[in-house]
Homo-oligomer: A and B are copies of this chain.
Amino acid sequence: MLEPPATTRAWHLVARPVGEPSPQDFALRETPLAPLGDGRLLVRNAYFSVDPYMRGRMGDTPGYAYFPPYALDEPLAGHAVGEVVASTAEGFTPGDHVLHFAGWREHAVVPAAEATRVDPEAAPLTAYLSVLGMTGLSAYAALFHVASFRKGDTVFVSGAAGAVGSQAGQMARLKGATRVIGSAGSDEKVRLLVEELGFDAAFNYRTAPVAEQLAQAAPDGIDLYVDTVGGDHLEAAIHAMNEHGRIALCGAIAQYNDVEAPPGPRNLAQAIGKRLTLRGMIVTDFQDLLPRFTEEVTPWVRSGELTWRETHADGIDSAVRAFLGLFRGDNVGKTLVRL
């Protein structure tokens, strides 16, 4: 075994962004690694994920922060997969691959209790950060638990070319949706949705009002909406909802950088007459679904019925750029930093 490194490069939050984060809010710093101690793993990260929800942890806007805010001048955190290079924990040996939460850095020392072994033979390593990980579980929980999907539903997904949206749309199709509609931010993404991911209809929300395009795509209304965007999309979805429709509130990327409180859906009172249910969710509440999720989704992944896209950024230097790109819609599917 090589001598373990004493330090690693890690992205730190150095200022709380106000509005859109800028590169100056972050710093890549050489940071001491914790001593290995007992029951710990030294992991060389192979990939880590950058996600919209992290914006909430960078600021202190109440309600957007699903977890405690990131500490200033400390390494950022998030999901990562990597290879164990040293272990003082029973059951783990160098060469093992693990999923853990010490992302945004090259090497990490993590308690074995906070690491999950993953099998790179069963699926590509990145799948554990995307289709088979929290991303896939988010889509699964949103559809089948939060929004009580029913066979025959017409389903609308916003941010449908994004990490969670692309999974939600495909899962709805696989479970018997009558019609699956997606919105995305470019014509190229719209083509991807319809031609490769099996959406029945899709539209580019930048080219015309969402409400108009949704009405055209869903002439008989929608029954279920997976909201990753908020804003205009939510208002349009409420308008298009059929009676007893259900909305999973999974994210509001359109609003995460707002400094002023953004307008709410002006038509929320329609929820009364239409008997709509809107329910917020965060995926960490649904860990107990993981076994059932894995059992149901893995065969779809193996058979190719459920596909996924990843946008890779190369090298730790690119991480902040990749994160900022999420808010411009630069990504397709899950955004990962490859080390």
Contacts and interface: CB of A to CB of B under 8 A. Distances in A.
Contacts of A261: 266-267
Interface in A18-43: none
A273 B267 contact: no
A62 interface: yes
Interface in A236-276: 239, 249-252, 255, 261-276
A334 B263 CA distance: 34
A151 interface: no
A262 B58 CA distance: 32
Interface residue SS majority, chain A? loop
A201 B255 CA distance: 35
B272 A62 contact: no
B63 A272 contact: yes
Nearest to A230: B269
Interface string A27-70: 00000000000000000000000000000100000111110000
A157 to B, nearest CB: 16
Contact of A268 (B234, B270, B272, B276): B234
Contacts of A279: 271, 275-278
A273 B235 contact: no
Contacts of A249: 268-269, 271-272
A282 interface: yes
A277 B247 CA distance: 10
A280 interface: yes
A215 interface: no
B62 A270 contact: yes
A281 interface: yes
A298 B280 CA distance: 36
Contacts of A230: 268-269
A274 B65 CA distance: 9
Nearest to A277: B279
Contacts of A252: 269, 272
A212 to B, nearest CB: 16
21 contacts: A63-B271, A64-B269, A64-B272, A66-B273, A230-B268, A249-B268, A249-B271, A249-B272, A250-B272, A251-B272, A262-B266, A263-B264, A271-B278, A273-B280, A274-B280, A275-B280, A275-B281, A275-B285, A276-B279, A276-B280, A277-B279
Closest 4 CB pairs of A and B: A264-B264, A63-B270, A271-B280, A261-B266
